[in-house]
Amino acid sequence: GVHVAEKEAKRDYQEVYNAIATKIRDEDEYDNYIGYGPVLVRLAWHSSGTFDRNDNSGGSFGGTYRFKKEMNDPSNKGLQNAFDFLRPIHEQFPWISSGDLYTLGGVTAVQEMMGPKIPWRSGRVDQPENTVPDNGRLPDASQGASYVRNLFDRLGFGDRETVALIGAHALGKTHYENSGYEGPWGPSPNVFTNDFFVNLLNAHWTLNTNKKGVKQWDNDQGHMMLPTDMALVKDPKYRKLVEEYAKDQDVFFRDFSKAFAKLLENNIKFPDQNKPHYFKTLDEQDL
Ligand code: HEM
Ligand SMILES: CC(=O)Cn1cnc2ccccc21
């Protein structure tokens, strides 16, 4: 059922944001100097994307990613890097819940990669191991548009929110050892832009079977797209939205911010007193 967040305690969440942001800035060598930003965004998404609106199960509230059943979900391969990155932050701030930490990590990463401000509320409460949702709720990249539409409908999202959210694939890269897909990163792996949409529309894409026997789309500049990425330009309704976001990064940022905040809060009811935090970036604080 829907979880009720606990009333916000007198805590300095900007301090936690700053610790995460400073660590992202310092540990820049990870993944061939892409850094930890993208994998932190993926952890926030995967810890929230288990939500099912049909029975109000899953979602970020209980911080259940910390348990091996969820951590070892094949869909979560590679996210241990984000978990290990956050461990010293959790030791420094033991009062923060796992669910709050995993979602705050994604918010910090988006903002420090020059993405939009993401409003964030605290109050998630760690739940026991017997509340871990089943594996298999996160999306399969080999599928087409109708699969994507159904999966995001289960998460409570329409077409506009779905296309905006997948725009996060402007960040980071795919890794053979995690998902069986591989591709050098896109034009801006650790700076948030609308490049994913521009790329989808402008490049010439060829469907190949890669070294792991997995089908993926490659272009002549060495970039790649997943089948579910390509579905966004094959489906006419999705394509309209891709064209809109490729033309206007501000509209993409506005829609991404709303949808990402909603994703991280799925299945949670927050007390009115828990106001959304709009965190300052390190640059805005001259740190
Ligand atoms: C149809 C929906 C989606 C599918 C099938 C999908 C699938 C994937 C796959 C296969 C990877 C590569 C993982 C690896 O090999 O390391 C990946 C990476 C990534 N995904 Fe998605 N994804 C989806 C939606 C999303 C959403 C909604 C977000 C965030 C809002 C997101 C954020 C990311 C990020 C940031 C990476 C790069 C991670 C890194 O560089 O380590 N994805 N995704
Ligand atoms: C930047 C780009 O389009 C490369 N790319 C395309 N699809 C992706 C999925 C996950 C991570 C990176 C991805």
Tell me the per-residue pLDDT of 20-31, one tens digit each, with 9 for 90 and over: 999 999 999 999
Ligand 1 pocket residues where CB is under 6 Å: 38-39, 41-42, 45, 78, 139, 141, 148, 165-166, 168-169, 171-175, 178-179, 181, 226, 228, 260
Is residue 174 exposed (0-12), middle (13-18) or buried (19+ Cβ within 10 Å)? buried
Handedness of CA 93, 74, 29, 227 (dihedral sign): negative
Inter-residue contact 217 to 232 (CB < 8 Å): no
Q: What is the pLDDT of residues 200-219, one digit of tens each?
A: 999 899 999 999 999 999 99
Tokens at 98, concatenated: 């796992």
Span 71-120, pLDDT tens digits:
999 999 999 999 999 999 999 999 999 999 999 999 999 999 999 999 99
Residue 77: per-residue pLDDT: 98
> How does pLDDT run across 212-252, given as a tens digit for each residue?
999 999 998 889 999 999 999 999 999 999 999 999 999 99
Instruction: Say what the pLDDT of residue 157 is.
Output: 98
pLDDT at 8: 94
Q: Which of 167, 149, 128, 120 has its CA nearest to residue 263?
A: 120
CB 245 within 8 A of CB 251: yes
Position 9 scores a pLDDT of 86
pLDDT over threshold 70, residue 186: no
Residue 238 CA to ligand 2 center (angstroms) comes to 17
**Domains of the chain with bracketed CATH:** 2-137+260-285 (1.10.520.10), 145-251 (1.10.420.10)
pLDDT at res. 183: 87
State mean pLDDT over 169-198: 92
> What's the rounded mean pLDDT across residues 4-15?
95
* Pocket lining: 218 vs ligand 2, CB cutoff 6 Å: no
Residue 188 pLDDT grade (very low, low, confident, very high; cuts 50, 70, 90): confident
Q: Could you tell me the pLDDT band of residue 168, with boundaries at 50, 70 and 90?
A: very high
Q: pLDDT value at position 15? A: 98
Residue 185 appears among annotated catalytic residues: yes
Q: What is the DSSP letter of 266?
A: T
C-alpha 285/C-alpha 138 separation (Å) is 36
Residue 184 scores a pLDDT above 80? no
Q: Please determine, for residue 266, whether its predicted confidence score (pLDDT) is greater than 80.
A: yes
User: What pLDDT score does 203 carry?
Assistant: 86
- Whole-angstrom distance, CA of residue 187 vs CA of residue 75: 25
Mean pLDDT confidence for 134-155 = 98
Q: What is the pLDDT of residue 222?
A: 80
Express each pLDDT in 115-125 by its tens digit: 999 999 999 99
Write the pLDDT tens digit of every residue in 153-162: 999 999 999 9
For 73, how many CA atoms within 13 A lie in the half-sphere containing its CB? Answer: 23
Q: Above pLDDT 90, what percent of the chain?
A: 95
Whether the model clears a pTM of 0.95, i.e. scores above it, the answer is yes
- Indicate the top mutation candidate among 77, 83, 161, 166 to test ligand 1's pocket, ranked by most ligand atoms within 8 A of CB: 166
For the chain, state the CA radius of gyration: 18
Give yes or no for residue 186 CB within 6 A of ligand 2.
Answer: yes
Predicted pLDDT of residue 239? 98
Range 183-210 average pLDDT: 91
